[in-house]
Amino acid sequence: MQRRALVLTMTMALACTLAGCSKPPQAAIDGAKQALAGARSAGAGRYAADSLRTAEDAAARLDAELKAQEEKAAFMRSYEKATELAEAAQVAAQKTAADAEAGKEKARQEATVAIEAIREALGQAKAAIETLPKTKALQAARQQIEADIAAAETALADAASALTAGELVDAKAKAEAAGSSVAKAKAVLEGAQRPPAKSGR
């Protein structure tokens, strides 16, 4: 009986060695997790959403493989695939972080260009309203234009503040809102400047 137990123990030990019975590749796993956390901190959720989903899928595959190995008997475990998945997950996360930085820079440039363009258009609209005759017939149009200009100025100031704070998506959205108000003001202004239609006899 003792001899049989010894043989069984030696057989299991040999099988463990041949099957790669070992501990999880903790360093690779930690590297993948840290890279993914870094990508999220870099703003991947806002500036590289597609890449982040790819990285999260890679991390999920790693977790599934680790769980599958944990459910096996110790001498049947092999972490070769888990090591490969951890390395792939880390690469995906690092790419996501790079994509986030690129997306952030693109958003910064777009917001900056939009703010400058709208600031110029706003200046033009403010100058144009000064040429509008101050007649009773145009009073309603003037009030509407002034309201739209005021709304544009507020949105533009908010956009500039968001840009300074690094809230680039918000900066662009607020700049677009300012642009919409400027467009409304210009439309009303153009209508007010249009000569009245001549009545037929």
41-63 residue pLDDT tens: 999 999 999 999 999 999 999 99
pLDDT of residue 191: 83
Q: What is the model's pTM? A: 0.73
Which amino acid, 45?
G
pLDDT of residue 15: 54
64-116 residue pLDDT tens: 999 999 999 998 999 999 999 999 999 999 999 999 999 999 999 999 999 99
Q: How far is CA 154 from CA 11, 150, 169, 174, in A?
A: 78, 6, 17, 9
pLDDT at 1 over 70: no
Reference 155, options 175, 185, 125, 172; nearest CA is 175
Reference 137, options 187, 192, 190, 189; nearest CA is 192
- The rounded distance, in Å, linking the Cα atoms of 119 and 175 is 9
List the chain domain ranges.
2-102, 104-191
pLDDT of residue 189: 84
pLDDT of residue 136: 80
Mean pLDDT for 186-196 is: 80
Q: What angle is formed at CA 144 by the lines to CA 138 and CA 149, rounded to 5 degrees?
A: 120
- The rounded distance, in Å, linking the Cα atoms of 119 and 117 is 5
Query: Which of 12-16, 105-109, 172-176, 188-192 is least confident?
Result: 12-16
Sign of CA dihedral 173, 175, 179, 181: positive
Cβ atoms 100, 51 nearer than 8 A:
yes
Sign of CA dihedral 146, 149, 155, 159: negative
pLDDT of residue 198: 57
Cβ atoms 122, 145 nearer than 8 A:
no
Within a 10 A sphere around the Cβ of 201, how many other Cβ atoms? 3
pLDDT at 22 over 90: no
105-160 residue pLDDT tens: 999 999 999 999 999 999 998 888 888 788 887 888 889 999 999 999 999 999 99
Within a 10 A sphere around the Cβ of 52, how many other Cβ atoms? 24
